[in-house]
Each structure stands twice: as structure tokens, then as C-alpha cells.
A and B are shown apart, each in its own frame.
Chain A
Amino acid sequence: MLHKKNKKLSRLIYNPNVEGYIFILPWLIGFFCFTLLPFIISFVLSFTDYNILEKETNFIGLANYIKLFTEDRLYLKSLAVTFKFALISVPLRLIFALAVAMILNRKTKAIPAYRVMYYLPSIIGGSVAVSVMWRNLFSKAGVFNSLLQLIGIPCEINWLSNTNTALYTLILLYVWQFGSAMLIFLSGLKQIPVTYYEAATVDGAGPVKQFFSITLPMLSPIILFNLVMQIINGFMVFTQAQIITNGGPVNETLVYVLYMYQKSFKYYDMGYGSAMAWILLVIIGFFTALVFKSSSQWAFYESETGASKQKKTRKERKK
């Protein structure tokens, strides 16, 4: 009996279709339990006034969404702050990343050491420790002001509690972590054949022309990938804003996720928070679609640039 059962079982687990599902089973379980189910719950909750502390939950239709856009001044503020943050910091981060990558794209022995220096901020940047450090860099008696004083510019501003500068200290922290984007660019630059530049030089193209006619087009798929990921990350900024300024001064740094966190986990207004989460998802989806849609205009795919990159771009297209 046992033998027969084993045989049946073994025939089952060696069936190619079953084998496939056995291997992707961990992901399938995770997908249903931790992604799809929460996804559906979130959608339903966004039409209710669910509060974890209260017993009663009412279906209130679109009231959360209407309230967000018509009554909730703070929400509109957080939306504006987040857009400002992302639209300034993402391009700056990518420009820095590309510029430094081009500078480091040389053959000298010191490159690995430089790479460490420029990449280190990316590795540690998301940690609480760095946020605490940043708080002390830009406080009134902080490092930044003291160094300014040292070179003869007396400065009494507390950069973090000044409504004009607070957000920029966060942007600076974000741009500071350009290292990972830089590494991606660096590996992209290495794949551009040197002969292209040589031919361009022979034809009399200067460095600027070469940059716009060779480097940028050849890197465009990588720029595209970076742009999408960085925009998503930019909208998700939380730790820094919560620790360095906690939304202040006068909500000048109240970024989206921070406000969502406050609503959902301080006031436990989770129906409302879910509505915010859904709008966030729509915004991110919109930006991602926009970048991919527009990419056919400016991203350049070439068949010679190596198998691995091609695969990546194909995957990007699938997404």
C-alpha cells in the first residue's frame, strides 16, 4: 500500500508541469499571501472608514478620495513636497552619477579606491545613523555652518528649521547617494566600443558632440532603467524625512509616505491611509508608463551591445 502510494507520489513530483510549480511554489505562496491578498484588502479598505481602534467600519464610497483632494490641505501639501523632492533630486542624482561615472571611466590603478569613496554613501545612506549624522551637519551649530565660518562666511541659519532650506537638506542627502546609479552607468560606459569614439574623432567630432551623439544614445536604455527605479525610490522617501525633520518645519518636508505613515499608524486611520496608498500606486504607475512610453522616442537599442544588456532591455519592455 505504502509502496503504491510512493509510486503515485513520485510519478506526480517528476511530472514536468508539477516540477515547475514545486520550484516556484515559494514565490506563489508569497505572492498570494503577502502581495495579492493585501492588495485586494487595501483596495476594499480605501472605500471604508476602517480604523483599527474602532469597532465599526462603514462603507463610505469615494469619500476618502474626495476628502483627500478637496479638504485635506496637508495631503495636498505632502503631494507638492514629494513632487518637488522627486523632480529635483532624481535628475540631480542621475546627472551626478553619469558625470562621475564618466570621470571614473579610465584605466588607472586608483579607480577601485575611488569607487569605494563614491559608492560608500549609497551603501550606508538609508540608515538611521546617517540621518542622525545629517541632522547634526546642518543644525545651527553644525558642521556645515562651522566650516562656512572657517572660510569667513558667518552663517546663523538652522538649515533644518528654515522653511526655505529644510527640503533641500533632504534633497542633498538623496543626491549624495548617487553611487549605485554611478556603478550602473560605469558598467554601461565600459560596454561602448572604443572604436566609435575613434571614428568620431577622425570625423572631427569634439568631446561635446561625442557625448551627445555616442555616449548618451548608447547609455539610453540604462538611463531609462535608472530613471524608473529612482523615481519610484524618490516617491518612497521616508526614513530621512522622519528622522531628520519629521515633516517640519511647518510641514515643509512632509513627504508622501511620511504623511501616509502618520495617518495610518499614529491615528490608525487605515481606510484613509489605504486611499493614499492607492493614489501613490497610480502616480508611480503613471510615471513608469510615461517613461516607458516615451522611451521609444529617445531610448536607443542596439543589437551589438552584448547579450546580457539585450536581455535586460527585453525584460524592461515586458514590464
Chain B
Amino acid sequence: MIKIATKRKINMVIYHILVCGFGLVMIYPLIWMIFSSFKESSLVMTTVTQLFPTEWKLSNYITGWKGFGGISFATFFKNSFIITILSTIGGVVSSTIVVFGFSRLKFKGRSIWFMLMLLTMMMPSQVLMIPQYIIFNKIGWVNTMLPIVVPEWFGKAFFIFLVMQFISGIPRELDEAARIDGCSTYKIFGKIIVPLVRPAMVTCAIFAFYWKWDDYMSSLIYLNSPTKFTVSIALKNFTDPTSVSDYGAMFAMCVLSLVPIIVIFLLLQKYIVDGIATSGLKG
């Protein structure tokens, strides 16, 4: 009897060591980068195998923050935050409105539009980037944040899908009861549905935030002047392998650019996990 118990315990320990060990291998590169950013810059690539810095220094962050061409990373972070927050709010709000229309209202042509909406979900944005560029170029939006932000304000198929999964769990009787009590459709939406789907909206907001924050291609295409750069495009220029030799500063800024995402992830993990589980969203 004791033997079985100890055997089980040993198995358990082995399990945890293996899972933990493999997990550490997975995130080792990240840990390495974080510790490297606190090393003396000249030592970063010469003491690669030594994980911990001999001396903890913040100097990399100070030199890195200065950025390039006289523009500091403060500008880039500001740009990124403005773009990300505007598109996140717009995307989540518009998607929630659209979901209500699709899932709770009956109107002519509903199923056709719904099919089309699902089809656009499969449509990769890269396919449309050329004509979109031409359109935005025609109306003078190139080199502003508008082409990156505005298209997000018209409901995103992924978020529509996610909120829809959630809304289908809210009993329709609630709507009907409210209608009998004299609520208009708009009131039902604002007073009943919106408060109830808030968790799904938070999940969407997290995804919207971190997709936009990581977004590289549209910044690359639409932003030309360095004062308008987002963090990702600035980071690309800052770390150009042909010009950079300050590895410390490079890693410091890389780490800093990941901070908003990691903070949000750790704080709101539950919403992400739930969101992924219910909708099968890509990450």
C-alpha cells in the first residue's frame, strides 16, 4: 500500500520536473533577453552563456530610450498607445453592436449578410493590402494613423464570432420580458445585453490590444516619417543588423516593447484562456 503511494509520488515529481523543465526551455530565450538587457552593453554578446549579469545596470534602458534621429522612444510608445487604444475601443464597441443585430434581431437578408461575414473571417488581410493602400493613398491617408485605426471601427469578424458565442448563452426570455415591459430594441441592447456580455468584450479588447500592439506590416506600409512610427516599426529600424552594435540598448527596447503585452496577459489571463476556449481564436 505504501509502495504504491510512494511510486505515485515519484511519478508526480518526475512529471513536474519534466513539464517545468520543458517549459523553462520554451521561455529561456525570453529570460535570456531580459537578463541581457541589464548587462553591460559590451558584455551582452561576449558572455552569452552567462544568464545573470555580473552587475545589474539600467544604462541600456537610458541609452535605448533616446531612440534614433533625435526622436526618443517616448514618441514611439505614445504613437503605439494612441493607435492601439483607438482601434481597440472602436473594434470592440462596433463588433458588439453588430453581434446584437446578427444574433438577436430578425430582418430581411440577415442570413446572407451573416454568411458573408463568416466568409470575411477566412479572408487574410494581406490579400487586400494593395488595393487598400491605393484607396488610402487616393484620399491622402498615407503617413497618418488613419489607415491603421479606422478600418478597425467597423466590426471585426473574429470578435463578432467570439461575442456571438457568448451572447448565445444569454436566455432570449430576458429580451422578451424587457420588450413586454415596453423596452425598445435599443434599450434592450444598452440596458440588458451590453452589461451581460461585458466579459466577452474584455476578452476581445485584450486580443485587439495585443494584435494591434504587435502589428508590424501596416505600420511598415503606411507610416513613413519617424515621428509617426509605432514601437514595432521603430524597433525594426533601431535594431537594424547593419547599423546596430549596441546590443544592450537593443535588447532593452525589445523588452520594453513587450512589457504592455505581458502585463496585460498576466493580469487578465483568465479572460484570454476563456476566450480561446470558447471560440477557438488564434493567438
Chain A residues within 8 Å of B, Cβ to Cβ:
14, 16-24, 26-31, 33-35, 37-39, 41-42, 45, 52, 103-104, 106, 108, 110, 112, 114-124, 126-130, 132-137, 141-143, 146-147, 149-150, 176-177, 179-180, 183-184, 186-187, 222, 225-226, 228-230, 232-233, 235-236, 238-239, 242-243, 257, 260-261, 264-265, 270, 273-274, 277-278, 280-281, 284, 288, 308, 311-312, 315, 318-319
CB-based closest 6 A-B pairs: A30-B154, A23-B101, A20-B107, A180-B283, A187-B277, A117-B23
A35 with B120: CB separation less than 8 A: yes
Question: Which A residues are CB-close (under 8 A) to B130?
Answer: 42, 45, 264, 270, 273-274, 277
Contact of A35 among B100, B110, B123 (CB under 8 A): B123
Question: Which B residues are CB-close (under 8 A) to A150?
Answer: 49
Question: Which B residues are CB-close (under 8 A) to A278?
Answer: 127
A123 with B265: CB separation less than 8 A: yes
A176 with B119: CB separation less than 8 A: no
A183 with B128: CB separation less than 8 A: no
Complex CA distance for A23 and B104, rounded to whole angstroms: 10
Q: Is the interface of A mostly helix, strand, loop or mixed?
A: helix
Q: Which residue of B lies closest to A263 (CB)?
A: B130
B283 with A122: CB separation less than 8 A: yes
Q: Is the interface of B mostly helix, strand, loop or mixed?
A: helix
Chain B residues within 8 Å of A, Cβ to Cβ:
12, 15-16, 19-20, 23-24, 26-27, 29-30, 32-33, 45, 48-49, 94, 97-98, 100-102, 105-108, 110, 113, 115-124, 126-135, 137, 151, 153-155, 160-161, 165, 168-169, 184-186, 189, 210, 213-214, 216-217, 220-221, 231-233, 235-236, 239, 241, 247, 250-251, 253-255, 257-258, 261-262, 265-266, 269, 272-273, 276-283
B131 with A42: CB separation less than 8 A: yes
A23 with B48: CB separation less than 8 A: no
**Would you mind naming 16 contact pairs between A and B with Cβ atoms under 8 Å apart?**
A16-B105, A19-B185, A24-B113, A34-B151, A37-B131, A45-B134, A108-B16, A110-B20, A126-B214, A128-B236, A128-B254, A143-B29, A143-B49, A229-B282, A270-B134, A311-B168
